[in-house]
């Protein structure tokens, strides 16, 4: 069974026969190992049902995906990178480096979404990040298969190819780290995989990830997620991160707060009118 082709046909069928989901319809949990078995297994009916659930608006929390040791290794990449490199901002163009920056649009946003975070961006063509990509690919390749692509798709792409792989490590600090409600484009990746690298039990007290339901309400997922879990949901459903411990002082040097890893295939800045996340409300 060609699993990538199977899911490519399944998503094509779902999009042709119905409207893409615009609201959360439910939350469920599944062991990551079970999800992997379903995606890579021979039971086409069971595999199709997982895609159907995501397309129906369900968010599936994949439990126990990353061991704490792996989570710590991933976060250390960010710590070490920031210690050796000054903050900067770059576009995804030829010879684009890895970079990190503090995103703060709370005072300047006009018609867009607001954000307060410290983001770290990594691309496959740069040296020194191979261990991070090797760790992520253990899960990312499964994500690509589930979205209808070969596990090695886009790995050798450069900005001139239009679509590139990017890892974004995000720290939403105590003291108001957040991102307001938005949707992500679904022209390429339909089912997003979000890696939860912290815990509301130990790293922060309030705020966190939410998805909007049919009543327009924010449904918090933090109580259902543990450090090392992955949340899978349809990219076009509005979502965001509610203010993390807004009454605390903001200190980007502490590394406290909420940590998240997003492994995405996105358009480079060489693409005219490139697809981007869009604000909602």
237-272 confidence digits (pLDDT tens): 999 999 999 999 999 888 999 999 999 999 999 999
Residue 29, beta-bridge partner list: 61
Q: String of b and e for 82-92 (b: at least 16 CB within 10 Å)?
A: beeeeeeeeeb
pLDDT for the residue numbered 187: 93
pLDDT, mean of residues 136-143: 98
Q: Is 233 left (phi over 0), alpha (psi -120 to 50) or beta?
A: beta
Contact between 193 and 263 under an 8 Å Cβ cutoff? The reply is yes
Delimit the domains of the chain by residue range.
3-279
Q: How is domain 3-279 classified at the architecture level of CATH?
A: Sandwich (2.60)
Report pTM. 0.96
pLDDT for the residue numbered 210: 99
DSSP letter string over 36-77? HHHHHSS-HHHHHHHHHHHHTTEEEEEET-S-HHHHHHHHHH
Q: Is the dihedral of CA 209, 53, 36, 262 positive or negative?
A: negative
pLDDT for the residue numbered 105: 84
Quick check: 7 pLDDT over 90? yes
Distance in angstroms (rounded) separating the CA atoms of residues 116 and 104: 5
pLDDT, mean of residues 108-132: 89
For 11-40, what is each residue's pLDDT tens digit?
999 999 999 999 999 999 999 999 999 999
To the nearest whole number, what is the mean pLDDT of the chain?
96
Of 202, 279, 208, 280, nearest to 243 by C-alpha is: 208
pLDDT, mean of residues 187-203: 96
For 74-119, what is each residue's pLDDT tens digit?
999 999 999 999 999 999 999 999 999 999 986 555 557 899 999 9
pLDDT for the residue numbered 202: 92
Contact between 45 and 234 under an 8 Å Cβ cutoff? The reply is no
Distance in angstroms (rounded) separating the CA atoms of residues 234 and 62: 14
């Amino acid at each position: 069974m060609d699993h990538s082709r199977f899911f490519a046909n399944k998503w094509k069928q779902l999009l042709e026969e119905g409207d893409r989901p615009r609201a959360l319809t439910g939350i469920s949990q599944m062991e990551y190992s079970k999800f992997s078995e379903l995606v890579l297994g021979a039971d086409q009916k069971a595999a199709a049902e997982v895609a159907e659930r995501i397309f129906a608006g369900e968010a599936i929390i994949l439990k126990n995906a990353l061991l704490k040791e792996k989570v710590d290794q991933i976060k250390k990449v960010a710590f070490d990178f920031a210690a050796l490199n000054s903050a900067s901002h770059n576009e995804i163009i030829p010879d684009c480096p890895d970079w990190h920056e503090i995103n703060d649009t709370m005072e300047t946003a006009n018609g867009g979404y607001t954000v307060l975070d410290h983001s770290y961006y990594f691309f496959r063509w740069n040296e020194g990040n191979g261990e991070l990509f090797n760790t992520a690919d253990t899960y990312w390749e499964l994500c690509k298969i589930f979205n209808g692509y070969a596990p090695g798709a886009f790995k050798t792409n450069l900005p001139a190819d239009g679509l590139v792989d990017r890892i974004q490590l995000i720290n939403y600090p105590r003291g108001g780290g957040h991102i307001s409600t938005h949707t992500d484009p679904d022209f390429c990746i339909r089912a997003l995989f979000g890696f939860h690298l912290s815990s509301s039990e130990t790293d922060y007290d309030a705020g966190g990830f939410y998805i909007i339901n049919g009543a327009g309400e924010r449904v918090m997922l933090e109580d259902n997620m543990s450090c090392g879990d992955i949340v899978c949901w349809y990219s076009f459903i509005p979502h965001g991160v509610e203010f993390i411990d807004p009454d605390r002082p903001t200190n980007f040097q502490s590394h406290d707060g909420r940590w998240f890893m997003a492994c995405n295939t996105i358009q480079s800045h060489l693409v005219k009118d490139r697809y981007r996340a869009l604000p909602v409300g």
